[in-house]
Amino acid sequence: MNRLGERKSAWAFLFALGCAIAVTSSACGGSTLSSDGGLPGMCSANVSAGQACNAIANVGPQVTPACTTGTVPTGTGGVIADGTYVLTSQTYYNTGCPTSPIAETFVVAGDCFEDVGYFFQPGSLSPAIITTDAALATVQGNTIMLTLTCAQSGFQTTMQDTPTKTYTATDTTLTMFTVNTGTSSSNPDRVEVLTRR
């Protein structure tokens, strides 16, 4: 399975988020520059294909996925705090264990979720691929549905996760539980932990 495709669809995971840093949720999808000079969030519809979806700086550490067996836990819900999050853990369930590290940063501003992801070859310090995404989030109980509005690459058309996931939010973390088994997605099941900075 294509490793990049697995990750790309993840945020069309949120698990997998927000307007560009320093942009308020009211600017999501607008055309006004953020106060730090970056592009505004691209959470509105009709975003041109192939363009960068945000100007978020990736401040996340390299994370190497872990693997386990068993049933994916179910999230308990909670209030998702606005802010900047970095991926700190990724665990695959019941599948071959990928070894390529990733680094991702997510920004959450209301229902606008955006991310930037770096994908590394094993042993490399320089990212092989850099991608950006944006999605609108609908939360109900302990579930979150992410509607992709912008993706810099074409993987979102062929490698999407199921759009609905469960989640657990605390003051400092957002954990996404993705179960693709039994859906039309060929992506593996996984749990991803994001930590708010």
SS (H, E, C) 8-56: HHHCCCCCCCCCCCCCCHHHCCCCCCCCCCCCCCCCCCCCCCCCCCCCC
- pLDDT at residue 119, as a whole number: 85
Domain ranges of the chain: 3-196
From the options 2.60.120, 2.40.128, 1.10.3470, 2.20.25, give the CATH code of 3-196: 2.40.128
Average pLDDT over residues 113-124: 85
Instruction: From 49, 167, 33, select the one nearest 41 (Cα to Cα).
Output: 33
Biggest CA pair distance of the chain:
47
The tens digit of pLDDT for each residue in 22-50 reads 222 333 333 333 333 334 456 765 566 66
Which range scores top for mean pLDDT: 4-18, 29-43, 128-142?
A: 128-142
The better pLDDT of the pair 73, 159 is held by 73
Q: Give pTM, 2 decimals.
A: 0.77
Tokens of 192: 């991803």
Average pLDDT over residues 69-96: 95
